[in-house]
Every structure is written in structure tokens, then in C-alpha cells.
Amino acid sequence: MSNFKTDLDIIVIGGGAAGFFAAINIAKNNNNLNIAILERGKTGLQKVKISGGGRCNVTHAEFIPSELIGNYPRGKKELLGPFHTFMTGDTIAWFEERGIELKIEDDGRMFPVSNSSQTIIDCFLNEAKKYDVEVLYNHSVKSIKDCHTELVEISQKENHFKIETNQGNLFCKKVVIATGSNPKIWNLLSDLGHTIIPPVPSLFTFDIKDERIKDIPGVVEKHVEVKVLGSNLESDGPLLITHVGMSAPSILKLSAFGAVELAKLNYNFEISINFIRQHFEDCLNNLKFLKLDSAKKTVYNSTQFELPKRLWKKLVLASEIEETYRWAELNKIQLEALANQLTNAVFQVTGKSIFKEEFVTAGGVDLREINFKTFESKRIPNLYFAGEVINVDAVTGGFNFQNAWTSAYIVSQSISN
């Protein structure tokens, strides 16, 4: 640190998406400020690197703030105002101004046209260099002290904060915390007087051992309805059968909105799935029609309701209908059993698995202790937050990054002003 000054205007703790975005925008708005990013790792922007399978899911093509907030299980109400200040369209424009065009995929997710997260990483590193933002790697923060309440050197009294790191002490006037889900930093913020909502995993897949999904990994049903029995939790969307259970948006949405509730259940609960999005009675009537219309065909081999063949066959067998049975041979009990498997199949969830490498948590700094016009702490003046360090999280699809861009941008405007 000998070549670097220890007195700074702004220190951003955390070299991820939110940290870089905040630092770059602060520096762009006011190039006279001395700004440093402290990153505990050898490199930063790791989540950017792995997001979207290495393509970086920058944001989502939702352009109405009141619709956008529906994707945030925690922070929905608080983000409405910020999204009116900076949201999807602004994100797209920000990257386009730097020569990075984004494209919209069929499901609304937005990626760089290059299909490489390195495009975004290079952009941030170039911008940081352009605006003289110092990036200090291998800097692990040990403590954050308020100079006005701590006994610090007389020469440092004009500063607000003393940041103790494994490489020495730094002093600054303002601090931005952009460390994501980092228990160590949450502990330091708790020591400063902030309330931390205990973190629990969000965005996870369900572990299920069941004969009906055994040996058919990779099967996708495009639109199902899923409910957690004994709760108000429900979602819909695509469903993917995996080697260990179930995934895809219908499950991930449920895991995000039910993060706290499902943690309390220790990830042991029952779900019901309506594979065809029909009422039981409507489905039963359709099956009765098939009994007449397709009388001579075998049930096992005549897939219905546009279900994947392998899934249909599993549900037929689960209804105690043998492979050789024809539609005409089905009795009332078998028809009702099949209708039940199609519209109300109950599965026991026995655990959770991380969704790819995109680890997201619910929890963090209590939202009541943040001014959402500035993202400044209500408890400690000149302390700001950006990204997932606060109790905000989203479903998969680029929404967590949009929260990072929005909060970091508003922090930058607040500090610059």
C-alpha cells in the first residue's frame, strides 16, 4: 500500500457488480474524488463472470416499474421509487454508451450480444481505469469504525471512517458497502448498530426421490402450476426434471418467494403439481372422451395434453394402468387416478440444491434502516449500500443484477450531489 494514499474521499467495499457500478458512476460524475474499491479476492466481478452460464444475464426486458417489482420477494415495495429513477432502459443505455449492445432472449432475459460475461468485466475494468478508480485486490476488511465515535488520530478527524484491512488502515469520508451476501461484513455492520435479517438461501432447486421422475432427467414441461401444501405458496412456469429432483422457473420462483418459510420447514415439505393446468373435473371429462374416441389405442403409448412422452408414461404407470391397457379397458377408478396424477400430483421434497453457481440469499441489512431515495444508512451518516448486502433478492432472470445497477447508480448520484 506504500504507493497508494491512505486518505480517500470514497471507499467502496466489494469488487462485484454493484461495487464497480457505484465506483465508476461516482468517478464519472466527479473526477476530483479519490475513490478506491476494496476486494478481498485476487480478482473481482466473480458473480458477473459465472452469471447466465458465463454469458452474464445483465437485466430483464421488463420496462414498467410496477411490473418489475413483482420479481422481488423482498424489497418489492422499497424498489418502486428507485426503479422510477434508474431501471432496465437506463441499464441498456448505460452499456450501449460504452459500446456494449444487449439482446433480448425469448424468456425476456438480456445478455451482451457477444454472449460472453468477459465483455461486461472488461467494460468495468476499462471504465475504472479511465476514471482513476483504484482497485485494491486481496484487501480483506477487518473493521469499519466511525471516526466521530472512536478515538482516532487527530490528523484523521476530518474523515468519517477508519477502515482496518489485512493490508493496513484506510480513512475516508464516505463508505459504500457492496459486498453481497457476506456474513463477516454483516457482523461488522451489526457492530455499528445495524439490524441484520438472518440470511437463508433463495433460488434453489428441490431434491425429490420419486418413481414418477426417476430415470427421466432433462424432461421439460413448458407450463405447470406448483403449490406448497399447507401454505399459500404457489407459482407457475416451466418445470425441469433433474437427476436429483426438480428445477426451472416454476420451482425457482417458489424457492425465492418461500425462502424464509421453506427454511423453517428445514426443506422438508410436500408440493402438488398440476402438469396440464386443468381442473380435475375438466381433465376427467377429457379422459372419458378419450376412452370412447381412442378405445383401441394403448393408454401408455398415446400421450395426451402435449406432455413429454416420458413423463406421460410415468404418470400412466403411477395411476396403476399397465402398459398393455387400452383406453376402452379403463375403469372409473383408473380414470380418476390418472386425472389426479395430471392435475394434482403430490411429491415429497426432502432437501435443496444450489441453482447452478448462482447462490442468492434472502436476508441482510434491515430495509427499514435505509433511505431508498439515496440508499444511505438511516443509522450512520455517509454510509451507503448497494446490491444484495441489504435484504433484497429476486427470482432468476437478471433481476438481481438490475437491483445492483439501480442501487449503485442512486448511491453514485447521492454521493456526487
Task: Return the C-alpha cell found at 57.
Answer: 444475464
* N-term to C-term CA, the chain: 30
Q: How confident is the model at residue 1 (pLDDT cuts 50, 70, 90)?
A: very low
Average pLDDT over residues 225-252: 97
Cα distance between residue 206 and residue 215, in whole Å:
16
Q: Which amino acid does the sequence have at 188?
A: L
318 class by beta-carbon count within 10 Å (0-12 exposed, 13-18 middle, 19+ buried)? middle
What is residue 159's predicted lDDT score, i.e. its pLDDT?
75
**Distances, alpha carbon 61 to alpha carbons 74, 94, 238, 256, in Å:** 20, 15, 18, 20
* Band of residue 253 on the pLDDT scale cut at 50, 70, 90: very high
* % of residues, the chain, pLDDT over 70: 95
Please report the pLDDT score of residue 2 as a whole number. Answer: 40
pLDDT of residue 152: 52
Task: Give CATH 3.50.50.60 domain extents, the chain.
Answer: 7-200+361-416
- What are the pLDDT digits (tens) for 330-372? 999 999 999 999 999 999 999 999 876 556 899 999 999 999 9
Q: Which helix (H) or strand (E) holds 336?
A: helix 332-343
Sequence-distant (6+) residues with CB within 8 A of 232 are none
Question: Alpha helices of 131-241 — where are they, by DSSP H?
Answer: 183-191
Which pairs with CB-CB distance under 8 Å and at least 24 residues apart come from 235-239? 236/277, 239/273, 239/275
Q: Where is 342: in which H helix or E strand?
A: helix 332-343
Out of 3.40.50.720, 2.70.98.30, 3.40.50.2300, 3.50.50.60, the CATH code matching 7-200+361-416 is 3.50.50.60
74-103 average pLDDT score: 98
pLDDT at 22: 98
**Mean of all residue pLDDT scores within the chain:** 95
For residue 196, the 8-state DSSP code is E
Instruction: Tell me the per-residue pLDDT of 256-294, one tens digit each, with 9 for 90 and over.
Output: 999 999 999 999 999 999 999 999 999 999 999 999 999
In this prediction, residue 6 has a pLDDT band, given cuts at 50, 70 and 90, of confident
Report whether pLDDT(160) > 90. Answer: no
Mean pLDDT calculated for residue range 16-27? 98
Q: Is the pLDDT of residue 214 over 50?
A: yes
DSSP 364: E
CA–CA gap between residue 394 and residue 69 (Å, rounded) = 9
Residues 6+ apart with CB under 8 A from 408: 17, 18, 19, 21, 22, 25, 176, 178, 386, 387
Q: What is the pTM of this model?
A: 0.91
Q: Are strands 245-247 and 168-177 parallel, antiparallel or unpaired?
A: unpaired
- Residue 156, pLDDT > 60, answer no
pLDDT in tens, 224-237: 999 999 999 999 99
Give pLDDT, residue 417.
81
